[in-house]
Amino acid sequence: MRPRRRCLVPALVAVAVAVSGAAGCGDDGDDVIPYDCSTEPRAEPFVPGMQQVGAGGTSFTLVSSEPSPPIRDDNRWELQIGDGGAFTGAVKVVPFMPDHRHGTPIAPVVTPVAGSPGRFVADPVNLWMPGLWDVTVRATPAGGVRDEVVFRLCIDG
Ligand SMILES: [Cu+2]
């Protein structure tokens, strides 16, 4: 089901509005376009420790979210790449709204957790609009082949 839109703003304009912080369509706290995740069959329910395996065989675990479940706005995610703690390399997190064809104006900063191989923190995961989000987690091991998964989550609002 596609969300009802109270106003039709091209995605780029909506992102620009979000970046500028100006009140506008869907940006003002009192004027959020509502979205009922209980009627969204495409999303996976958020569960701490939820895991997916990429086409290349790499496991991706969404260990935790703060807040939990993720909310509309900034979230801090902890991720585990690989099972054996052997992963070293680069991790990228890319949130995207497939229904609206836009991402997020604030790129998550992904930082390895010292002393915990394969463990990363992504902050902020800025899910700024209620609705369906595809959050791609992409891992490129040092000297290896890139693998990725998509966590498809619904943000109530
Ligand atoms: Cu959107």
Reported as a single tens digit per residue, the pLDDT across 59-97 is 999 999 999 999 999 999 999 999 876 789 999 999 999
The alpha carbon of 44 is separated from its chain's Cα centroid by a whole number of angstroms, namely 12
pLDDT at 86: 76
Ligand 1 centroid to Cα of residue 27, in Å, is 10
Q: Which burial class, exposed, middle or buried, applies to 38 when counting CB atoms under 10 A from its CB (0-12, 13-18, 19+)? A: exposed
pLDDT at 22: 39
The alpha carbon of 39 is separated from its chain's Cα centroid by a whole number of angstroms, namely 20
Residues above pLDDT 70, as percent of the chain: 79
Q: What is the mean pLDDT of each run of 10 residues along the chain (157 residues)?
A: 41 44 45 87 97 96 98 97 85 98 97 93 97 98 94 96
Ligand 1 centroid to Cα of residue 119, in Å, is 29
Q: What is the pTM of this model?
A: 0.80
Shortest CA distance to 82 belongs to which of 131, 23, 144? 144
Ligand 1 centroid to Cα of residue 92, in Å, is 21
Domains in the chain (CATH in brackets) are 11-155 (2.60.40.1220)
Ligand 1 centroid to Cα of residue 90, in Å, is 27
76 touches 85 (CB < 8 A): no
Q: What is the mean pLDDT of the chain?
A: 85
Ion ligand 1 nearby residues (CB, 5 A)? 97, 100, 129
Which are the contacts of 73, defined by CB distance < 8 A and separation ≥ 6?
126, 127, 128
